[in-house]
Structure 1
Amino acid sequence: MVRPARWLPASITAESGTLVTLLGAASALFAFALIAEDVLEGETHGFDERLLRAFRNPNDLADPIGPPWFEIMMRDITSLGSTTVLTIVTLAAVFYLVMDGKRASAALVAIAVSGGALLTYVLKFGFDRPRPDLVAHLVEVSTLSFPSGHAMGSAVTYLTLGALLARTQPRRRIKIYVLTVAVLLTLMVGVSRVYLGVHWPTDVLAGWCAGSAWALICWTVALWLQRHGDIEPTPSEEVTPPA
């Protein structure tokens, strides 16, 4: 019995995947542009101030809501988006991919994360927004505020690595689990920055948008390179010789 050709559904799926990632990147960039415009025009001040105050004792803005252990937990979570932690995670992933013979994937991760970090600094200096002075900062900060480097760096790193890991899993529920963990890590790091008083909420929203857009753009490039044979295919896409 002759089996139906399998290349057609795979081709359609690949084209659909590329289209979805491009649309996602475009949507994230559009959202970033809207937030940035409102920030430059000063239209987000009321929203930012209300949300920052919501995380503080109304009688003492130096006192965050919740028990002391919760503040400690948020400090720990925010460190997951620090340059040091993201660099360690990225280097570990890159060396693993190199040892596994996936040099093109390793190069993709290194370029995506380092490029995202460079873009973050360019945006920060371009917008030149000062840190919040409404509430006390619960951790040390020294750079500019918009967009949040922790939020953007987490989105770039964890979403890129999550997508890379998900593509190696043949089972859909495992793919969903991996991507969900990546998204949750990104969200928790961003929320922690507002809770600790070192970022305006719109800094974090913009960081999520810009980081997600960059990760999706890099992933679109990866899909294109994969189809042209310049990057390793997923296990399910590897061609097996006929028996």
Structure 2
Amino acid sequence: MSLWTRFQRFTAARLSPEGVAGAHLTLGVVMLFLGTLAFGLIADDVVSGAELVRLDVAVANWLHVRATPAMTAFMLGVSFFHGGIAGALLALSLLVVFYVRKLRWWLLAGMIILPGGTLLNVLIKYSFQRARPTFDAPLLTLTTYSFPSGHTAFAAMFYGLLACVLVAHLRGAAARAAVVLAAGAMVALVGLSRMYLGVHYLSDVLAATAEGCIWLAICITTVSTLRRRRLGRPD
């Protein structure tokens, strides 16, 4: 067998929806690489005080001076439902749905992704210890660290997991694309709410999104590979 033939077979196996090391593993590795690259670049800019940090301050000030009572109330609501007790109940509700629907592998993934991702975010926060934005008349005041945004990371993991489940069960490219776009929009809205309220910078939100994608890629790829091995899928 020629080297080119082997390469073709290897590539076909990596892109196949079947097999233990098929397309799911390839997609997971690509997502992990891109997420890690993005997080690393953002973190390096934050630590070194590069141009991104100046953009952080400009965006924070621009949003703050345009705050209105109605928009503040809306953003507080968005933020409230994606953190703390409300966020925990939202995550628990999704896990209950997985349990009731007998989606045991997705349940396992969710039980690792959501609590584990929250712990990971706390560890990263204490590693960087970045102070939150400050204003003379703040809309919301928090004393914990800023980088990366916990609410945005949770949203990336929660809606990313939900999108993965729906995409796996939906038929048709249009429906799947709509799900992915809706999930991305929700993550963006949560991130915007944290910036609008003045408790996070743009780089905090971007890094949190990358963090969520990294953790999703690791956990879903691992659980999917384990499931395929248990089902005896050929490699």
TM surpasses 0.5:
yes
Write the mapping of 1:86-125 to structure 2, written as runs, cut at 5 A.
86-125=87-126
Distance 2:166 2:14 in 1: 20
* Per-residue CA distance 1:29-58 (angstroms, 9 max, x = gap): 11101111111112233111111111132x
**What 5-or-longer segments of structure 2 have no aligned partner?**
1-11
**Alignment pair present for 1:20 and 2:27:** yes
Aligned residue in 2 for 1:203: 204
Distance 1:98 1:154 in 2: 21
Aligned residue in 2 for 1:157: 158
Distance 1:11 1:129 in 2: 41
Aligned residue in 2 for 1:73: 74
**What 5-or-longer segments of structure 1 have no aligned partner?**
1-7, 58-64, 234-243
Higher helix share: 2
Distance 2:39 2:16 in 1: 30
Greater relative contact order (Cα < 8 A, sep 6+) = 2
**What displacement does 1:140 show?**
4.0
> Across the two proteins, how many residue pairs are aligned to each other?
218
* Per-residue CA distance 1:125-155 (angstroms, 9 max, x = gap): 1111111124643124232111111111111
Secondary structure in 2 matching 1:221: helix
Distance 1:51 1:116 in 2: 27
TM-score, normalisation: structure 1: 0.81
TM-score, normalisation: structure 2: 0.84
Give the residue type in structure 1 aligned to 2:186: L
Contact 1:151/1:208 (<8 A) preserved: yes
**Alignment pair present for 1:147 and 2:148:** yes
Contact 2:67/2:196 (<8 A) preserved: no
Identity level (%): 27
Contact 1:135/1:197 (<8 A) preserved: no
Distance 1:216 1:80 in 2: 24
Aligned residue in 2 for 1:30: 37
Contact 1:48/1:201 (<8 A) preserved: yes
Give the residue type in structure 2 aligned to 1:69: A
Counterparts in 2 of 1:66 and 1:134: CA distance versus 1, 3 Å: closer
